[in-house]
Structures are given as C-alpha cells and as structure tokens.
Structure 1
C-alpha cells in the first residue's frame, strides 16, 4: 500500500473551504485547539464513522488531522483499505500552529488535561521509575516492569504505533460521549 497523500499546512489552509477535516485526536486534544471546521472522530472510532466519511469523501476531499501526523497517517491507511481517499496534514496541528495558522477551540472550552503524547510520556516515566525504585526496595523482579516499558517504547518507535496511547485513549477523559460522536457523524453526513 502506498503512503497517504500529505498536504502541507499552507496548501491545506488555502483548500480548507473545499475539504472535510476529520480530527482523529482525543476529545481533550481537540478541545485544546483544532483546525477551523474540523470534526472530532477519535482514531479508535473511525471504523464506526466509515459510511459517513465515505459520504463526505464523495462530496469533496477529506483531510485527516492529528497532533503530529502519525495517527492521521494510520487513519488514512484504514480509510484507503475501505476505498475512501483521504489526505493527511503534514506535521499535524503542531505544524499548523507553528506555521502561524489559527487553531479554534469549542465555545467555553477550557484547556484542561494533557494531550496523548504527554500522557504517554508521564505514564511510561512513572512506571519505569516505580519499577526501578520498587525493584531495589521490594523485589528485584519488579525491574522487569521497567524493561517491559522500555521494550514497548522501542517497538512503538519502530512500528509507528503506540499500545500505551491506545490504552490511554480508552480512558473516560479521552473519549467522546456517545451524544458527541452521534452529533459529529450527523454533521459529517450533512456536508
């Protein structure tokens, strides 16, 4: 399978009016700032949204966005496997903001919580530290916990996926309510 088409931030900005933008980050990340008009469908909910994304793709282009481009690349590959053409934003919302483009926030949204990458770094660091400290004090076998996290981080880097991020995305704070997702899918159908 070929790599998904990637749009630079300036090209995406100039074509924003003709694209349906799907943001595959967690609701907390989306609330912290997203591309104008973007609809939030977390990566783990994309399969449920396939018919609605197909409908949007039939009416125009689809741009998939995340924080850095890794999750949107995965989403584009899944869409392609299901016959839906979509592009990804090079560098994600981080590059979008760094290039001077505006990120929107839902009305009344207050930036609370951490993005997925920050949650992964905190969790991995805490588990490694706990394994090292408890391994020295309680039982040496607990150091295997640190080794397992280190192996997971290496595997994550090699494969471009992150099992810990997938687990953290399932936490209640990182998931949309059913009503939010249904509302988003209805908006997607209306485009």
Structure 2
C-alpha cells in the first residue's frame, strides 16, 4: 500500500493510524507529490480545485473591493460591506476560525467523497 499526499505530512499521519491494522507492506512517498514533481517525475493531475483558504480570500477580497468601490461611486452605505468583511477577517485571525470557509464548505463544489475510516480499516484488515 502506497500513501501519497501533497507534502507527505498527511500520508505520514495516515501511516501512524494504519499501524494498528495488519498491512503486508506500507510505503510513503517521501515529500509527497511536491517532491515527486520537483524530481521531474511524471504526474497526471485531474481537475484542480481552489483550496478553501484561496476561496475565502477570493470571496473576501471581492466583497471588500465591491463594497469600497460601490460606497465611493454608487451608494455610500455599501462601504459597510467592506467594514463587515474586514471585521470578520480580524475575528478570524484572533479566533483562528473562519466563518466564510465554513459557509463555502457547504457549497456543492466543495463536497467530496466521504470515507468511513473504520470500515476502510476493517476492509484492509480483512484483505490482509
């Protein structure tokens, strides 16, 4: 079994969990896909999604820009959009949470396949 992630960190954590299951052979791609590509190895990627952090920054930046420009050129109260998003970003930094990311995670675009870890571990153990 080969475990791969972007940098190798999550694969290493998964390997620690899998140590509890009798797996015949377990390998990690050291340094993850990033190291693999840096070494010039071939890699075929599917459709790439923006990370949740990038999505949140994009939405926040767009709202601030629209609020500021709308407040300057269209209707003064629109500047409150920029102020509210700025306050949300400040709270996000202080609390180390992100309400916008929580909302964005509910979008269909961000819904991935679910995995029942216990059942998967049982399946691995049964196959060994």
Task: Tell me the TM-score normalized by structure 2.
Answer: 0.63
Aligned residues: 98
Question: Which residue is equivalent to 1:135?
Answer: 71
Question: Which residue is equivalent to 2:123?
Answer: 190
Quote how far apart the aligned CAs of 1:113 are: 2.3
What is the aligned-residue RMSD (CA, Å)?
3.1
Question: Which residue is equivalent to 2:38?
Answer: none
Which protein has the bigger strand share? Answer: 1
Listed as ranges, the gaps of 5+ residues in structure 1 are 1-8, 21-58, 62-99
Moved over 6 A (4+): none
Question: Which residue is equivalent to 1:175?
Answer: 111
Separation of aligned partners in 2, 1:16 and 1:112:
23
Taking the TM superposition and a 5 Å limit, the aligned residue runs for 1:74-89 are none
Quote how far apart the aligned CAs of 1:124 are: 0.4
Question: Which residue is equivalent to 1:19?
Answer: 17
TM-superposition CA deviations, 1:2-38 (whole Å, max 9, x none) = xxxxxxx78x73x753424xxxxxxxxxxxxxxxxxx
Higher RCO (C-alpha 8 Å, min separation 6)? 1
